[in-house]
Structure 1
Amino acid sequence: MTAPSPHRHPLRFGDFRAYLIGRCAAVLAQYSMMIVLGWQAYNIARETMTTAGASAQLGLIGLAQFLPLFFLTPLTGWVADHYDRRIITRLTLTLLTAAAAVLAFATFEGWVGLPLIFGIAVIVGIARAFNGPAYGALAPNLVPREVLPNAIAISGVVWQAGSIVGPALGGYAYAATPWGAYALAAILYGVALGAMMLIGPVPQPARDISRHPIRQMIDGLTYVRTNRLVLATITLDLFAVLLAGATALLPVYARDILHVGSTGLGHLAAAPGIGAGLVALWFSFRPLKNEVGIKMLGAVILFGIATIAFGCTAFLPRSIAMEFGIGALVVLGAADMISVFVRQSLVQLHTPDAMRGRVSSLSQLTISASNELGEAESGFLAALVGPVAAVIGGGIGAIVITLFWARLFPELRLARTFDPPDIRAADLSQEKAP
């Protein structure tokens, strides 16, 4: 297995470089803002509520971000397939910049409260509902098909680098001055907007005006439902990560279990990104090529085991609990990156460009369901049975779901490479030709 030749490397393409800069800045902004948003909401709630009640508020924040995405998904995918994807990302980044600026001003003036936090969470959910499909469908238009897996890996490196640095930036900025984290997020979103302005015209699928838009929106769901490999890949992430939402409860662990405060929260939140970033960096030069389905299943099982290990930090002596928890989260992030890389490569390469926006919107819905809705599930479950039982039980559930999915969708465990069957057949015929 060799690295791609330099003249075919994704970084040779200027539009893709601008895309990466914008993606990095946006991810830094997102993670620095959202980790502080949860921390601030939890602390505000703890002034008048018990740990269980404050944990439920974390669940409500996740729900506030997920519901707009859930209801808007059919529309956002259709929009990404019918309008300039660059313009969509620019508009949504402008909205996110404004939302972060409002939070910075409100925190600086001292009138931030739970209603404002929930309102901003809804706005962020709406912006991300349109941003995600456009971002996801735009990337394959910036590089040739043969280097797309490497481009996905590099994009994963950038994403995970942002997820490493973002929470730490947010936690440290909040510790220095609470409004600083949101001001930083607003600046970073502005940088992302500027980078997206540098991307030139890209291929846009021809608009289908012969059929009703609602029928076209349904086409994306139909395609996912009938392509069992894409369906298995998307739904495995949905149900496994939905259950194993350990990161949603990091504010609870940081304040009331490990007692490490906002600085410790930054360390914990950055740990999954460190593991994921290392794996993504490796894949950017040595991407997976063989037995991709089995490796994805194994990675999700490892994700569940790491979640259980993190949950068990509550039973360890305080002198080693923090270090053990960070180690478990590093492994969790590494396993998650393997799963993400395989999922994104399979979905992008098995989907026609004219339908990428709609399929990307459904993929984003499952990702958001596993993240934001997973946060809601974890918060509500923690309020019901306690945070420790919620984390450990979620890890066990992820393992069970993965084993069940391996049996329910044999297409997934039998997936050898990323190439669709028609491309593999063409390659074989060329090899046999004299």
Structure 2
Amino acid sequence: MILRQSGDSVHRQPYFANYWLSRTLSSTAFQMLSVAIGWQMYALTHNAFSLGFVGLAQFLPMVVLTLIVGHVADRFDRRMIVFWCQIVEAGIALLLLVENLVGSLDRQQILLAAAIIGACRAFEGPSSSALLPQLVPKALVQQAVGWSTSVQQLAQILGPSLGGLLFSLDPVCVYSAAVVALIVGGILTFLIRMEKSERDLKRVSMQSLFEGLVFVYRHPVILGTISLDLFAVLLGGATALLPIFAQDILHTGAWGLGLLRTAPAVGALMMSILFSYFPLKKAFGRTLFGALTVFGLATMLFAISKNLTLSFIALFFVGASDVVSVVIRSSLVQLQTPDEMRGRVNAVNSLFIGTSNQLGEFESGMVAGFIGAVPAAFFGGLATIVVAGLWMYLFPSLRRMQSLSGDEQG
């Protein structure tokens, strides 16, 4: 790999390259599928509500399965869980490919595909996140999280752009590329080898199922961080509305939609690489709240923009500011959670992320359906700033947080 650091390095750890490439391919395929599914749904229905239901279809499996997937990730081989999720996702992409070939794809099939993909990612996300600390020493976890975040953002740059370009040629091209990427990613995951960790495999009970939730609740800094991200992105997310902005406001095509979906990932990639080389050493709390304010302002700018370049710049800052909370939250979870509980805690974290993303898309679609896309995005950005201010009052320990160990300023 090109990315290097002096001395001991994340990238010199055995099998980290497999993990890196697998997550890149899986995320790329997911972004490609999101572009294709969103565009085809809007082309079939021309309805903002339908776009919202795509987000809801991906979100509901995550809610229903959260407690189960966490326990599965703590009891079974996390590597194999990720592998089978990627293979099933490849199968869904293959079915969508066939439906496009025969010309029988409809709204119900798109929603069903979105739901199954959502269920697979509900298992894949926590298992993959909990797998990372098993591949690197504890001292390198923060850098590993930064690089893991950066490569996912790289995938989000390549995925939407490639998805939009391939879709403009033929929808079959998008689904074919997604199938190949997911299968190769699955093979790379399967080839990872590691020492089997010793875990206390307690009998499944209601208490053990809820231990992840209890752990998060008892750590105010973690609870404050992930709940802040949840409500900020939930209210300020405009991703679900991008097909409307691309087609009806900015008057561009599928390639333009791919470009807009790429913009936040470009900003996030640059910021996550910056974090990887220059890890944040202090003032975590102030940095977090400052970034959320930028997120809200950039969302408001995007809402009122009628120029593709300005919209790209606004979304660039949306992505750059959002990744600050991603790195802080993920590092906190990995460093402050025992290995035997990482699956359950990461499942809770994934639920919060999924809520802010998929349910946020549903919320944005519903609000846009009632008041229009521009007002929905603008007031969503404003609501993000309000939430940031409220959380500074509700979680003073988060505002004063100085390090990932939870230390506060005096």
Does TM-score exceed 0.5, indicating one fold? yes
Rounded to whole Å, the distance in 1 between the matches of 2:387 and 2:260 is 26
Deviations 1:2-46 (A, max 9, x none): x99634210001211110010000011010111211111011112
Q: Which residue of 2 aligns with 1:431?
A: none
Rounded to whole Å, the distance in 1 between the matches of 2:83 and 2:264 is 29
Rounded to whole Å, the distance in 2 between the matches of 1:126 and 1:250 is 24
Shift of residue 290, structure 1, vs aligned partner: 1.1
Conservation of the 8 A alpha-carbon contact between 2:225 and 2:325: no
Rounded to whole Å, the distance in 1 between the matches of 2:192 and 2:7 is 20
Query: Could you tell which deviates more after superposition, 393-402 or 275-284?
Result: 275-284
Conservation of the 8 A alpha-carbon contact between 2:32 and 2:163: yes
Rounded to whole Å, the distance in 2 between the matches of 1:414 and 1:204 is 35
1:45-56 equivalences under 5 Å are 45-46=45-46, 54-56=47-49
Q: Which residue of 1 aligns with 2:332?
A: 346
Rounded to whole Å, the distance in 2 between the matches of 1:288 and 1:340 is 13
Structure number with larger C-alpha Rg: 1
Conservation of the 8 A alpha-carbon contact between 2:66 and 2:348: yes
Shift of residue 203, structure 1, vs aligned partner: 4.1
The answer to whether the aligner puts 1:197 opposite 2:190 as a matched pair is yes
Q: Which residue of 1 aligns with 2:281?
A: 289
Rounded to whole Å, the distance in 1 between the matches of 2:90 and 2:289 is 37
Rounded to whole Å, the distance in 1 between the matches of 2:295 and 2:390 is 16
CA RMSD of aligned residues (A): 1.5
Conservation of the 8 A alpha-carbon contact between 1:90 and 1:193: yes
The answer to whether the aligner puts 1:33 opposite 2:37 as a matched pair is no
Rounded to whole Å, the distance in 2 between the matches of 1:201 and 1:5 is 23
Shift of residue 214, structure 1, vs aligned partner: 2.3
Deviations 1:330-354 (A, max 9, x none): 1111101112111111121121111
Displacement over 2 Å in runs of 4+? 3-7, 201-205, 211-214
Rounded to whole Å, the distance in 1 between the matches of 2:368 and 2:275 is 35
Q: Which residue of 2 aligns with 1:228?
A: 220
The answer to whether the aligner puts 1:111 opposite 2:104 as a matched pair is yes
Query: Quick one: percent identity of the two aligned structures?
Result: 38
Q: Which residue of 1 aligns with 2:72?
A: 79
Rounded to whole Å, the distance in 2 between the matches of 1:31 and 1:193 is 17
Shift of residue 156, structure 1, vs aligned partner: 1.1
The answer to whether the aligner puts 1:12 opposite 2:12 as a matched pair is yes
Conservation of the 8 A alpha-carbon contact between 1:349 and 1:420: no
Mark the runs of 5 or more structure 2 residues left unpaired by the alignment. Answer: none
Rounded to whole Å, the distance in 2 between the matches of 1:45 and 1:101 is 23
Matching residue's letter, 1:241: V
Shift of residue 99, structure 1, vs aligned partner: 0.6
Q: Which residue of 1 aligns with 2:207?
A: 215
Conservation of the 8 A alpha-carbon contact between 2:213 and 2:345: yes
Shift of residue 419, structure 1, vs aligned partner: 2.4
Conservation of the 8 A alpha-carbon contact between 1:82 and 1:205: no
Conservation of the 8 A alpha-carbon contact between 1:306 and 1:328: yes
Shift of residue 154, structure 1, vs aligned partner: 0.6
Matching residue's letter, 1:230: I
Matching residue's letter, 2:386: V
The answer to whether the aligner puts 1:186 opposite 2:179 as a matched pair is yes
Shift of residue 295, structure 1, vs aligned partner: 0.6
The answer to whether the aligner puts 1:407 opposite 2:393 as a matched pair is yes
Deviations 1:363-409 (A, max 9, x none): 00010000000000000110011111110010011110011001100
Rounded to whole Å, the distance in 1 between the matches of 2:169 and 2:200 is 50
Mark the runs of 5 or more structure 1 residues left unpaired by the alignment. Answer: 47-53, 425-434
Q: Which residue of 2 aligns with 1:175?
A: 168
The answer to whether the aligner puts 1:42 opposite 2:35 as a matched pair is no
Rounded to whole Å, the distance in 1 between the matches of 2:383 and 2:90 is 37
Conservation of the 8 A alpha-carbon contact between 2:25 and 2:182: yes
Normalising by structure 1, what TM-score?
0.91
Rounded to whole Å, the distance in 2 between the matches of 1:323 and 1:391 is 18
The answer to whether the aligner puts 1:381 opposite 2:372 as a matched pair is no
Matching residue's letter, 1:121: A
SS at match of 1:6: coil
Rounded to whole Å, the distance in 1 between the matches of 2:301 and 2:5 is 40
Rounded to whole Å, the distance in 2 between the matches of 1:144 and 1:203 is 15
Give the length in aligned residue pairs.
406
Conservation of the 8 A alpha-carbon contact between 2:55 and 2:358: yes
Shift of residue 420, structure 1, vs aligned partner: 4.9
Normalising by structure 2, what TM-score?
0.96
Conservation of the 8 A alpha-carbon contact between 2:4 and 2:11: no
